Amino acid sequence: MKTMEWRDKGLDLLDQTGLPQAVRYIRCTSAEDVADAIRTMKVRGAPAIGAAAAYGLVLGTISLECGEQAEFIRETEKTANMLGSTRPTAVNLFWALERMVKAARMAGVEKPAEIKELLLKEANNIFREDLEMNKKIGMYGNKLVPNKAGILTHCNAGALATAGYGTALGVIRAAHEQGKEIHVYADETRPLLQGARLTAWELMQDSIPVTLITDNMAGYVMKKGLINLAVVGADRITANGDVANKIGTYTVAVLCKEHGIPFYVAAPGSTIDMGLESGEDIIIEERNPEEVTGIAGHLTAPEGVRVLNPAFDVTPNSLVTAIITDRGIIRPPYKDNLKKHYNKEGNNGLYNKGYKACTVRETKNRLGKGTHAGSE
Amino acid sequence: MKTMEWRDKGLDLLDQTGLPQAVRYIRCTSAEDVADAIRTMKVRGAPAIGAAAAYGLVLGTISLECGEQAEFIRETEKTANMLGSTRPTAVNLFWALERMVKAARMAGVEKPAEIKELLLKEANNIFREDLEMNKKIGMYGNKLVPNKAGILTHCNAGALATAGYGTALGVIRAAHEQGKEIHVYADETRPLLQGARLTAWELMQDSIPVTLITDNMAGYVMKKGLINLAVVGADRITANGDVANKIGTYTVAVLCKEHGIPFYVAAPGSTIDMGLESGEDIIIEERNPEEVTGIAGHLTAPEGVRVLNPAFDVTPNSLVTAIITDRGIIRPPYKDNLKKHYNKEGNNGLYNKGYKACTVRETKNRLGKGTHAGSE
């Protein structure tokens, strides 16, 4: 099962809104096709969105007939801005688009045909690098998984959220590949049910034993002694080791503390934002109330009820046992140990400042420093 | 809004499966009508089921033409057993039916017509006493609610689960009636969404400010400082103060501990089972997997996925700040303080032994000792 595949001047995208009932691919042959797929969440998960947007930019420039470089770049930026307007929070989207536009600008060639080639190469690199980072996360994380472990996970930080293999599910995949007899408990993850729809499905595809539970059963399964560790993805990790991730992650971490269960966060280094001191600096996106008042279009709550719908919560570093990155396992004190692996030139608040790709011409190359996230 | 009403030789039952979209009453004119309503969860919540079953027995005997007492009682027992087979766990069902059959047996009159009158009187008593107990719980519980309190609740321990007023929601109602500017945060309570469908609706009917959240947002709202106390109902409280209640209650209690927020349980004394030493003795009912894999008939998970679906969890006494009963507020140490208010003749494991009303002829009068519960 592939989340996306570049094939014959088009992008095949697995339509995640149809999962798990329908496994269907949509064919994108224009930047608009890709923008629509991101907007309607046919593709979701920050790294997956980033890679899709990069290919979207390739599609947007593929048919440009303009003869000179300056004009070509202007058109490329225009398309990038259009793609960047599809989702407000996924930093990886802006990061990937910026990286693409930068590649075009720095091409050092005059012929658009050559720049087009460079753009496809860059999109392929973004895709391939994400996959490689996930494999490394899996390799390191596997060391933390005992044989016969019961593993709790939340949301979908899997192959479906990335170029492949996944972050939290990458750790689980690696342990399974090593022959460990693990059993995964997947929180269904309300409101959008990524755990039920995507994680359970993805693990079943790979024959990894999984049991689906509602979010409020996590405490029950821990108290029953069924869980040996929890592993989740991240949307952003600040310099002190605080972790922003899908709503409900914080509750899982508190439950782990109560039961003496290790709580791990799996994320590529690019998720670590050394420019933000702590999780308190992160603005939490509030999403559409209809996600809470209904399920799959079916209204389940009284009309007009007041609703809270934060998309993320912040887990304080004190609850995080270790962060599993593509550069190794990082343990507390995070402030010191994150610094050893990641320099100061992190995201620098990209996420909070409503940053848009290609609108700032003079930014430094952020290659590898955007937010890769393991969930929405 | 009334959960049920006896009127003109029939029982009007609010069909809770249609809530909150449709407020419709069904008219029950036979014991079978009531049995069907319980089985299909048109009426739910242990005390509400108990009261409905009592009226069901009235309906089942109302048209009996048998001339002598012994035959009348045999028929009454038969109908009670039929009604008792509708739901396996709600102890209040068995308790109410036993109380009714006992009333018939001890009638001391020979004429079925007079026994019929006594049965209706007893059903009315069961209904009225439940309402009165809830009012007392509200009166005591109100003392624990500061003005402008943010209150978290889980599932529906409200008027809809009882003869009226509610247990946990009785406390909230009382505080609201006293003019306190409270704000309720209602966990939606997966899998059956009693919080979204019933609690939010019930509170909105009474103009009590309520915000609906998914279960996994409880930690978030606590961390934001929005919650001053949590109050929930109970399905059974053991002699040491352990509390069995709707799945997810335990997680709420753990979150309260982490945030230093008081966690209260509101329940009538009849919920307290002095015959069970601790929550470890309680068998947890495992329900239909389809409740987890879908919502309102809409499949949201992969077909064939393994599922856990415990209906309840047990919150250890160490996490319970106080138990609000109709006899006052009980605080730790529960083993001693529960004994002061409730004698040793409690439920005696009724819940776990698969006890059925009317099958044991020689049991003592359990009046007031069955399990009144605030949830399913």
H or E element in which residue A84 lies? helix A69-84
- Among B184, B205, B214, B308, the strongest candidate for a mutation testing the A interface, having the largest count of A CBs within 10 A, is B214
Q: In this structure, what token pair is assigned to residue A107?
A: 């091409």
pLDDT in tens, A11-63: 999 999 889 989 999 999 999 999 999 988 899 887 898 899 999 999 999 98
The second-level CATH assignment, the architecture, of B144-367 is: 3-Layer(aba) Sandwich (3.40)
Range(s) of chain B covered by CATH 3.40.50.10470:
144-367
Residue A303 and residue B212: Cβ atoms within 8 Å?
Answer: no
**Pairing state between β A328-330 and B4-6:** unpaired
- A8 phi-psi bin (left φ>0, alpha ψ -120 to 50, beta other): left
- In chain B, DSSP assigns E strands to 4-6, 11-14, 25-28, 150-153, 183-187, 210-213, 229-232, 236-238, 243-246, 263-266, 272-273, 294-295, 298-299, 306-307, 312-315, 322-325, 328-330
Alpha carbon of A247: minimum distance to chain B alpha carbons (Å): 6
DSSP-assigned states of every residue in B177-223: HTT---EEEEE--TTTTHIIIIIHHHHHHTT--EEEE-GGGHHHHHH
Which among B232, B238, B231, B242 has a CA at the least distance from the CA of B371?
Answer: B238
Query: Residues of B with catalytic annotation?
Result: 235
What are the chain A neighbours of B211 within 8 Å (beta carbons)? 305-308
B204 touches chain A (CB under 8 A): yes
Task: Specify whether the CB–CB gap between A4 and A52 falls below 8 A.
Answer: yes
The second-level CATH assignment, the architecture, of A4-135 is: Up-down Bundle (1.20)
pLDDT in tens, A207-250: 999 999 999 999 999 999 999 999 999 888 899 999 999 999 99
Range(s) of chain B covered by CATH 1.20.120.420:
4-135
List, in order, residues 6 or more apart from A374 with CB less than 8 Å away.
A45, A46, A47, A155, A156, A157, A158, A161, A162, A166, A167, A168, A232, A233, A234, A235, A245, A266, A267, A271
ipTM above 0.90, yes or no: no
Alpha carbon of A285: minimum distance to chain B alpha carbons (Å): 13
Per-residue pLDDT of chain B (376 residues; tens, 9 = 90+): 899 999 999 999 999 989 998 999 999 999 999 999 998 889 988 789 889 999 999 999 998 887 788 888 999 999 999 999 887 666 678 888 989 999 998 877 668 888 999 999 999 999 999 999 999 999 999 999 999 999 999 999 999 999 999 999 999 999 999 999 999 999 999 999 999 999 999 999 999 999 999 999 999 999 999 999 999 998 888 999 999 999 999 999 999 999 999 999 999 876 788 888 999 888 787 888 999 998 877 889 999 999 999 999 999 999 999 999 999 999 999 999 999 988 654 443 333 333 333 332 222 223 223 332 333 4
What are the chain B neighbours of A304 within 8 Å (beta carbons)? 204
| Catalytic, out of A33, A215, A235, A273 | A235
Rounded-to-integer distance, Cα B164 and Cα A94, Å: 55
pLDDT in tens, A108-158: 766 788 899 999 999 999 999 999 999 999 999 999 999 999 999 999 999
Residue B305 and residue A210: Cβ atoms within 8 Å?
Answer: yes
| pTM, full prediction | 0.88
Q: Which residue type is seen at B156?
A: N
